Amino acid sequence: MKVRLAYSKVGKIRFLGHLDMAHLWERAFRKAKLGVAVSAGFTPRPKLSFGLALPTAGESLVEVLDVVLDPAPSAERDLDDLAPRLSAVMPAGVEVTGAWVAGPQSIQEDVLATTWVLAIDRAAHDTAARVAALVAAPEFWIERERKGERRRDDIRPGIFELRTDFDPSVLPADWRSEVSASALVEAVVTTSGRGVRPTELVDALFPGDEPWNVMSRVIRTHQWIERTDAPCAPFSVRARKELPHEQRIAVG
Amino acid sequence: MTSLWSRVEPLLARVRKPARYIGCEDGAIEPRHGQGKVAWLLAYPDVYEVGLPNQGLQILYEILNERPDAVAERTYAPWVDLEALMRERGIPLFSVDAHRAAGDFDVIAFNLSAELVYTNVLNMLDLGGIPVHTARREPSDPVVVVGGHAAFNPEPLADFIDVAVLGEGEEVVGEINDVVRAWKASGRTSREGLWRELARIPGVYVPSLYDVVYEGERTVSCTPRFADVPATVTKRTISDLAQWDYPRRPLAPLTEVVHDRLAVEVFRGCTRGCRFCQAGMITRPVRERPAEQVRTMITRGLERTGYNEVSLTSLSTADFSGIEDVVSSIVPDPTACGAPTVSLPSLRVDAFTVGLAAKVASGRRSGLTFAPEAGTWRLRKVINKLITEADLYGAVESAFANGWTRTKLYFLTGLPTETDDDTRGIAELAAGCVAIGKKYTSRASVTVSLGGFVPKAHTPFQWFGQNGVDELQRKINLVRGAASRGVQVKWHDPRASLAEGLASRGDRRVGRVIERVWRDGGTFQEWSEFFVLDRWLDAAAAEGLPVEWFTTRHRTEVEILPWQHLSAGLHRDFLWDDWRASLDEHGLPDCRWTPCYDCGVCTGDGLEHVVASPIPPAGGSQGTGQDLARGGDVPVVVRL
């Protein structure tokens, strides 16, 4: 049975990279004595698939993981049990927040946009004005090297929303000092096609600065999925629904 | 003690692999500092991925934290990127557990598994704000301790350390803890007072309590400065491995490390008697862990860590008398993606061992590694690695027949008495292995890995003058030139072998060379991207020390060796006789299953070999024509 898990990754553990995190999950299922189906073939791999890669040093309230459990949970109670069992064997900072039976679509196909909150040094930067300027800009080109090839991309269309004025109550307790000492920027960016990374956002806001000199922390607060009634569009994302409210199918 | 985390945290997004610095591993123990406790910082002088799996450090970490009067945290050498940021901001070396400053600990204990890390030891002390010179430390500074295999000749570090511990640490750490605790309670008077107390502990060597006299290049004498300081310090050995089932809470890292699997030590010591092998010489006698305890440690360790791979570690795991028993008892766990994989490091070269490896290997059989060490039978008798050509070919045949497609062969070059025929013999053996492999698969390939031989203290080859850089390179080229199709040759940089030789058999004066190399920026010398031989040569020249005197020169029988006052339990006469026997091409049998030849370790220390079976494992004991057949009775202590 394919099960979708949502989990958070905050605090010290944010410095663990995506690949290491994947290996950690494999060990977590074994520690929790949960069987994971394995692929056929000469080197069987556990059937785990991860959504959007979270950049190392980035935090998240909503990461997603699909896992094929074998044997499958036999009752909804078992499904509800997954979160505490897995949270108990993952390091501090990783909390499983929900478990659902997943549909046939892969996570990558489902997620179209993501929201980041960036903490910017308040004293050193005029963040509000920069945000307003970027919102007003029709385009923003950045250059990067990928597989030895230089590419120029306009990332402006991929920035759906950008604001300094938002409710920070969603942020975890660990962020208390950032909330009081930093300028916070909330950004909704595309994840399909040419995705926009948090460091690129900082680059767009404060060109020429080393992104991690400007931004002290960054956290993903939402992942947005496509709804038939409200396709995602720049600056007009509506009918947003969080993954945890999605596809709550009773089993057993 | 305060945490440096808030100062370290902002730097971590800007460095490579920041998970190296966050702790949080499975098995990490939350440190509880407090009054009346001795705070230990266990340090590994290389990068986290290399240091974390180190079993010695993990064992001591746990044993110390179990004591009510001790607390231990860990640290590893920060990679160069983070070090630069730390120095820029004045952030000292910190522990990964609770991010406390190195200078806040009572003891900083380095695990030395190799010699080229010495410059990192100095660098970590300096980064910790601790004076690198022992003589300049105040009573408030941490006590600097080294242990591990390389600590058997700590003389090159004599100016920088307070204490070197010889041998196994399980018991002695507690004794050191008692002394340091009492010293703290008495108000931390002079360091010399502490040294005097520490020097009373068997196995503990305090270099500053000895006067060394040189005449020209030679060591003339090394004498204790006080009557109550021992003239000779002898290593510590635990008599029964069964009493030390550590680590009980193995550290499973969050980020990938070099040996990313559970490790269970099945025995300690090795009496095969390979003359080049310092590990085999200094860890005698053989002490096996009962097979039942091995099984329990595997089961518990896998459950705790979630690993599905276990490595049965020792210096020659196929020699473990309970090996078949243990291997056949590892069964698939229905909830854990099939059976755990068992890996057997340090395979013995024979068909039995390959059969064993075939039994435990699951999935893809890519490569199998053997270590014949020398290219001809004559030279293998010299080094006492008594593997016949038939043994090797039998093992390789078995490997290819069992589905492996690649074989790796480890060889040393620059061995005593090595002729060009011996060197070319390496290529011939490899060609023979390829020919065998081709019978089974067209993809058969053989990799030859060549290391330049560096003689080590406390071995029969401690008197041998190692080959210089040019000679080693010439021999490497000989092998490369003679290598046939299907044979890939890889080699270790002979320049690094020279620096390693200088640090391995150096005396106290070599410390000044190490300090210069470090001050010149030469850290991470085990890493080829940072190693520059000229740094070492220039430093030696500046100190007026002839490198060839320490490295390529043969020592004489009467000469006082810099480590002569330190003992691994081996009689000097035994080592010298074995050195002479090697030059006469005489092999020596494995004393586990043959009568004692009195190397000195067991008799001197009241120890005995502890093995689970009086019957040598298939493959026999090591000996020229003296191999006992399976089933022979031999004089050993048998644990049933």
| Domain CATH for B423 | 3.30.750.200
| B328: number of Cβ within 10 Å | 10
Domain boundary at B205, B229, B264, which? Answer: B205
Q: Is B380 a member of any domain? A: yes
Q: Bigger pLDDT: B489 or A112?
A: B489
- Radius of gyration of the CA atoms of chain B, in A: 24
Structural domain includes residue B222: no
- What is the three-state SS of chain A? CEEEEEEEECHHHHHCCHHHHHHHHHHHHHHCCCCECECCCCCCCECEEECCCCCCCCEEEEEEEEEEECCCCCCHHHHHHHHHHHHHHCCCCEEEEEEEECCCCCHHHHEEEEEEEEEEECCCCCHHHHHHHHHHCCCCEEEEEECCEEEEEECHHHEEEEECCCCHHHCCHHHHHHHHHEEEEEEEEECCCCCCCHHHHHHHHCCCCCHHHHEEEEEEEEEEECECCECCCCCCCCCCCCHHHCCCCCCC
Which of B402, B487, B498, B385 has its CA nearest to residue B441?
B402
Q: With contact defined as beta carbons under 8 Å apart, do A92 and A13 qualify?
A: yes
The alpha carbon of A30 is separated from its chain's Cα centroid by a whole number of angstroms, namely 25
**Contact, B372 vs B380, CB < 8 A?**
yes
| Residue B623, pLDDT score | 40
With tokens 């890390």, the residue in question is: B117
Q: At residue A184, does pLDDT exceed 60?
A: yes
Optimal mutation site among A9, A16, A217, interface B, most CBs of chain B within 10 A: A16
Three-state SS for B452-470 is: ECCCCCCCHHHHCCCCCHH
Contact B638, B614 (CB under 8 A): yes
pLDDT tens by residue, A27-42: 999 999 999 998 887 7
Which residues span the domain enclosing B502? 361-509+545-565
Residues of A in contact with B363 (CB under 8 A): 42-44
Residue-wise burial string across B531-565, b where 16 or more C-beta atoms lie within 10 A, e elsewhere? bbbebbbebbeeeebebeebbbbeeeeeebbbbeb
Q: Decide if B24 and A12 are in contact by the 8 Å CB cutoff.
A: yes
Please give the full DSSP string across B119-149, using - where no structure is assigned: HHHHHHHHHTT--SSGGG--TTSPEEEEESG
Angle between helices B494-504 and B469-482 (to 10 degrees): 140
Q: Which residues of B fall within a CB distance of 8 Å from A212?
A: 13-14
Q: How far is the C-alpha of B622 from the C-alpha of B391, rounded, in Å?
A: 12
**Residue B356 confidence class, pLDDT cut points 50, 70, 90:** confident
For the domain made up of A2-104, the CATH class stated in words is alpha beta
B-chain residues near A124 (CB < 8 A)? none
Residues on chain B bordering chain A, Cβ-to-Cβ distance under 8 angstroms: 10, 12-14, 17-19, 21-24, 26, 252, 254-256, 302-308, 334-338, 363-364
Give the pLDDT band of residue B621 (cuts 50, 70, 90).
Answer: very low
Q: Which residues in chain B are contacts of A16 at CB distance < 8 A?
A: 19, 22, 254-255
Question: Is B13's CB within 8 Å of A212's CB?
Answer: yes
* Chosen domain end from B205, B233, B256: B205
* Pairing verdict, β B262-265 and B309-313: parallel
CATH number at residue B76: 3.40.50.280
Mutation site, B16, B24, B96, interface A, largest A CB count within 10 A: B24
Give me the number of domains chain B comprises.
2
CATH 3.30.70.580, chain A: domain bounds: 2-104
Of A16, A23, A43, the CB nearest to B364: A43
Residues of chain A contacting residue B305, judged by C-beta atoms under 8 Å apart: 27, 31
Is there a contact between A23 and B256 if contact means CB atoms under 8 Å apart? yes
Pick the closest to residue B275 from B575, B23, B614, B13 (CA basis): B575
Quick one: closest CA in B to A16, which residue?
A: B19
Helices B80-89 and B5-12 cross at an angle (nearest 10°) of 130
Return the pLDDT at B334.
47
Which of B337, B341, B362, B405 is the best residue to mutate to test the A interface, defined by the most A CB atoms within 10 Å of its own CB? B337
Range ranked top by mean pLDDT from B339-348, B353-362, B398-407 = B398-407
Is residue B479 predicted with pLDDT exceeding 90? yes
Total Cβ atoms within 10 A of residue A150: 8
Please give, rounded to a whole number of angstroms, the shortest distance from the CA of A247 to a CA of chain B: 27
Residues in chain A closer than 8 A to B21 (CB atoms): 15
CB contact under 8 A, B335 and A89: no
State the pairing for strand pair B107-111/B143-147.
Answer: parallel
Average pLDDT of B110-125? 97
B154 pLDDT higher than 80: yes
Q: Taking CB atoms and an 8 Å limit, are B12 and A26 in contact across chains?
A: no
Q: Are B609 and B592 in contact (CB under 8 A)?
A: yes
Check: CB of residue B19 under 8 Å from CB of residue A21: no
- Which chain A residue is nearest to residue B18, measuring alpha carbons? A15
CB contacts of B334 in chain A (<8 Å) are 35
Residue B505 pLDDT greater than 50, yes or no:
yes
Instruction: Inform me whether the pLDDT recorded for A84 exceeds 90.
Output: yes
Instruction: Check if the beta carbon of residue A220 is closer than 8 Å to that of residue A64.
Output: no
Distance CA B169, CA A48 (A): 42
Minimum Cα–Cα distance from A31: chain B residue: B306
Q: How confident is the model at residue B614 (pLDDT cuts 50, 70, 90)?
A: low
Query: What residues form DSSP beta bridges with B348?
Result: none
Domain boundary residue, one of B183, B205, B227: B205
ipTM: 0.90
In the numeric block, the tokens 């080592």 are attached to B575
On whether residue B91 sits in a domain, the answer given is yes
pLDDT band at B411 (very low <50, low <70, confident <90, very high): very high
B168 in any annotated domain:
yes
Average pLDDT of the segment spanning B237-256: 96
- Residue-level pLDDT at B628: 36
Which chain B residues are Cβ-neighbours of A33 within 8 angstroms?
335-336
* Within-domain flag for B617: no
Tokens of B495: 């320049």
Which of 79-98 (A) contact B at CB < 8 A? 89, 91-93
**How many A-B residue pairs are in contact by the CB < 8 A criterion?**
80
Residue B173 structure tokens? 């750490």
Assess if residue B214 is contained within a domain: no
Label residue A252 by pLDDT band (50, 70, 90): very low
What mean pLDDT value characterizes chain B? 91
Which of B565, B621, B563 has its CA nearest to residue B591? B621
Residue % of chain B over a pLDDT of 90: 80
Phi, psi for residue B497 in degrees, rounded to 5: -65, -35
Query: Band of the pLDDT at B439, cuts 50, 70, 90?
Result: very high
CA-nearest residue to A218 within chain B is: B13
pLDDT of residue B248: 97
